[in-house]
Amino acid sequence: MSKKYLIPSIVATLWSIQPFVAANATTASNVSEMLAEGDTSVSFRYRYEMVDQEAVTETANASTLKSRLTYKSASYMGLSALLEVDNVLIIGDENYRTPSNGNIDYPIVADPKGTDFNQAVLTYKTDNLVTKLGKQRILHAGQRFVGGVGFRQNEQTYDAISLSTDKLGSISVDYSYIWSINRIFGPKDSVAQAKRWDSDSHILLASMSPAEGHSLKAYAYLLDFANAAANSSSTFGVEYSGQFSDISVSAAYATQSDYADNPNAYDANYVMAQISVPIKPVNVTLGYEVLGSDNGAAAFKTPLATLHKFQGWADKFLGTPANGVEDTYFKVAGKIGKTKTALVYHDFSADFGGADLGSEVDIVATYPLAKGLSAQLKYASYKAKSHASDTDKLWFTLSAKF
């Protein structure tokens, strides 16, 4: 069976079991009651972001407020609805660059102003199968391959139909067919960064726990983007995580090749290994991650990932260089009173050729001010060698949810 039809055949199997499972107990007696008895919540996130980037004339000072209104209906015969609207407002002057505002003298801060629907999704639940249709959040595992980029003020969401099952035997399965990617650069479109990618993509994640404290995941991502063909790829991989007393370990391997109308033919591999050890009062993590290169012609890509989580918070590797990236990192995390803190060091080199790309230091502190209210101070400093340019970033964030 070809790769293109592998995942559709699996989802057909998942869907076929739905009529044989009983619906959950309802909380509403009709559709009107389902809508009337819904819950509404509001959240706000203020952020100040400073970016000082070598060779860029001005220093960015972005002051933005994200307001989010979320409505979730009650459930009727297993059916429920979710509607979420985001507004990003600039506080003060627009002293930063986005792909659509034309402020070319400033570094990029990917938080454009505007109002947009973040989610608009119908959900149907049975005993062990959940089906979602519409604009939705999709977060696979640690978001290394598919995520929501939740750090940014405008979240990445997906126009998709998704099916997930808690148990199919001993395996949990998540499948989505995606016809549009709603990227962080909206709601306005631009030539530099499209707000939306047209998609004909299939994503599949299967998880199981062979023993207590251990998990195994397998995934397949067939990504086809009509207006971003160079990012179209097929990826197949596995990931293991385990707990041995107080020591946590994880490892992953994946292989990727060009797919659909990608104009570049390539094959590249992904490797990750990580170990975390508690050394009171902190937790120490040592990791190694490689996004491999096909002899410098092209490299392993993760265009749907929550990229800010990986390879440094300065975001210098949002697109993998053609020579690939080896990232050796060291993290120390702990608490000072109520304040959660972490320090991370990254050393970057090229997978093909071994060139020294640069290094980065990241520091973060998060303090709970009250229930539903927190403050965070975050800093990243990237020192370039043969990739990008020296960059310092500072964030101050206030988050509130009601």
Per-residue pLDDT reduced to its tens digit, 98-131: 999 999 999 999 999 999 999 999 999 998 899 9
Q: Residue 6 above 90 pLDDT?
A: no
Q: Residue 216 above 60 pLDDT?
A: yes
Instruction: State residue 346's pLDDT score.
Output: 98
Q: Residue 23 above 60 pLDDT?
A: no
Work out the percent of the chain whose per-residue pLDDT is above 90. Answer: 90
Instruction: State residue 5's pLDDT score.
Output: 52
Average pLDDT over residues 181-188: 95
Distance CA 70, CA 84 (A): 4
Average pLDDT over residues 352-360: 98
Alpha carbon of residue 13 to chain centroid = 28
Of 190, 160, 221, give the one whose Cα is nearest residue 99: 190
Specify whether the backbone of 77 is left (phi greater than 0), alpha (psi in -120 to 50) or beta. left
**pLDDT band per the 50, 70, 90 thresholds, residue 9:** low
Instruction: State residue 127's pLDDT score.
Output: 86
- Find all residues with CB under 8 Å of 217, minimum gap 6, and list them: 141, 205, 206, 207, 208, 238, 239, 240
Q: Residue 357 above 50 pLDDT?
A: yes
Within 13 A of 401's CA, how many CA atoms are on the CB side?
A: 7
Residue with more model confidence, 33 or 5:
33
DSSP SS3 for 5: helix
Six-digit token pair at 15? 């869907």
How distant, in Å, are the alpha carbons of 100, 177, 317, 327 from that of 197? Answer: 16, 14, 20, 28
Six-digit token pair at 195? 């707000």
**pLDDT band per the 50, 70, 90 thresholds, residue 151:** very high
The domain covering 3-401 belongs, at the CATH homologous superfamily level, to Porin (2.40.160.10)
Instruction: State residue 60's pLDDT score.
Output: 98
Instruction: State residue 129's pLDDT score.
Output: 93
**pLDDT band per the 50, 70, 90 thresholds, residue 27:** confident
Q: Residue 18 above 70 pLDDT?
A: no
**pLDDT band per the 50, 70, 90 thresholds, residue 161:** very high
